[in-house]
Structure 1
Amino acid sequence: MSGEFPRAGFWRRFASLVYDTLAIIAFAMLTVVLYLFAVQGLITLDVISLNGAEDVSALIQESLLLSSVRSALLVTVALVFFGYFWTKSGQTIGMRAWRLKVQTNEGCLISWPQSIVRSLSALLGLGNLVVLIDFKNKKALQDYISKTEVVTLTKEENKRIYRELD
């Protein structure tokens, strides 16, 4: 455990996740719009056809391949969102607002492989429920699996990290 900052509790993590979910929804909406345009472009170029579907959206919904590609894109958006912020500063948008930072157990920034493992093992945020019963360590399921921790920063340290990003 990092001796410098205390580990974050459940409610701070939850509030941070709400903020980040809103940001991810915005990126997901943009991704879906771009994907719809791409599929429409393929239809226009006669690469694929509507095959009796009412519109592009219905075609994607009816096609296992197209809906799987859309799902893969949305998962990728979430993984890239968290991975980018966690590996660059240890803080997502929501974490910055709630003065949280994810780091290795040794206090360093996490790696891309750790961020992917952490994201996937979070189980859409449900992994944070472990914090409610892990009174001593205040670690979530994803913390244990990815060998990371989430700490609560002081206002000064939070500002310092933000200034270093410039």
Structure 2
Amino acid sequence: MNSINYNDFPRAGFRRRMACWMYDFLTAVAVYMVAGAISFALFSLFANYGFVDFGEYEHLIDVQQNSLLYSSLVYGWNFFWVAFFFVWFWARSGQTIGMKAWRLRVQNQDGSLISKTTGIKRLLPTLMGLGNLAVIFDRKNKLSLQDRVTQTEVVLLPIEVSRAKNI
């Protein structure tokens, strides 16, 4: 297989998308936790150097949880890395870890890889996976909410193609 035409593959159905979602949800939780550990380590470092005012609080976690600014920075950092995880994998290969396991690929409707901008646009209508519910009602086209908004599709790769890509 010298050249693979990704435009020839069928679109993925709801059950396979949701199975993939479970894998990717667990991976996203792990990314969030690692980002959280790093963000709190950085927050602690800034506190040790005097950049964080403890005010009336004794513990650093209380400072962070009771400050809109600090909480926004910490949680924003964490969510940024989860978003980066999805966008980077989608734009790089069209597949996250869960998508590889379930042989799915996100792509433009012409079969080409999506851009980072398109990946960012896919994040909000994905609605933590709920955008895939649209596939249940669109059995003919099998397009989710995020597919429709960004003119993309999620296709099911044949085993042979999936194996060939891993070599």
TM-score, scaled relative to structure 1: 0.92
- Which ranges in structure 1 are unaligned for 5 or more consecutive residues? none
Question: How many pairs does the alignment contain?
Answer: 162
**Any conservation in 2 of the 1:121–1:141 contact (CA below 8 Å)?**
yes
Moved more, 41-50 or 95-104: 41-50
Contact 1:89 1:161 in 2 (8 A): no
Q: What are the superposed Cα offsets for residues 96-126 of structure 1, whole Å, 9 maximum, x if unpaired?
A: 0000000000000000000000112211111
Corresponding position: 1:96 with 2:106? no
* Range moving further from structure 2, 98-107 or 48-57: 48-57
Helix, strand or coil for the counterpart of 2:155?
A: strand
Q: Which amino acid aligns with 2:117?
A: P
Q: Aligned pair 1:15/2:19, yes or no?
A: yes
Which AA in structure 1 matches 2:165? I
For normalisation by structure 2, the TM-score amounts to 0.92
Where in structure 2 are there 5+ consecutive unaligned residues? 1-5
CA 1:120 to 1:162, structure 2 compared with 1: closer, same or farther past 3 Å? farther
Query: What is the rounded CA distance, in whole Å, between the counterparts of 1:116 and 1:33 in structure 2?
Result: 24
CA RMSD of aligned residues (A): 1.3
Distance 2:82 2:44 in 1: 24
Cα displacement string for residues 70-89 of structure 1 (whole angstroms, at most 9, x for unaligned residues): 22112211221111111111
Quickly say closer, same or farther: Cα 1:49–1:90, change in 2 above 3 A: same
Selected match of 1:31 from 16, 30, 35: 35
Aligned to 1:85: 89
- Alignment of 1:108 with 2:112, yes or no, is yes
1:156 matched to 2:160? The reply is yes
Alignment correspondent of 2:124: 120
After TM superposition, give the deviation of residue 3 of structure 1 in Å.
Answer: 5.2
- Structure 2 distance, partners of 1:100, 1:26, is 21
Q: Within 2, Cα distance between the matches of 1:33 and 1:51?
A: 23
Task: Work out the CA distance in 1 between the residues paired with 2:59 and 2:16.
Answer: 43
Following TM superposition, the consecutive aligned residue runs of length 4 or more in structure 1 with deviations greater than 6 angstroms are none
Q: Which amino acid aligns with 1:103?
A: Q
Shift of 1:52: 2.2
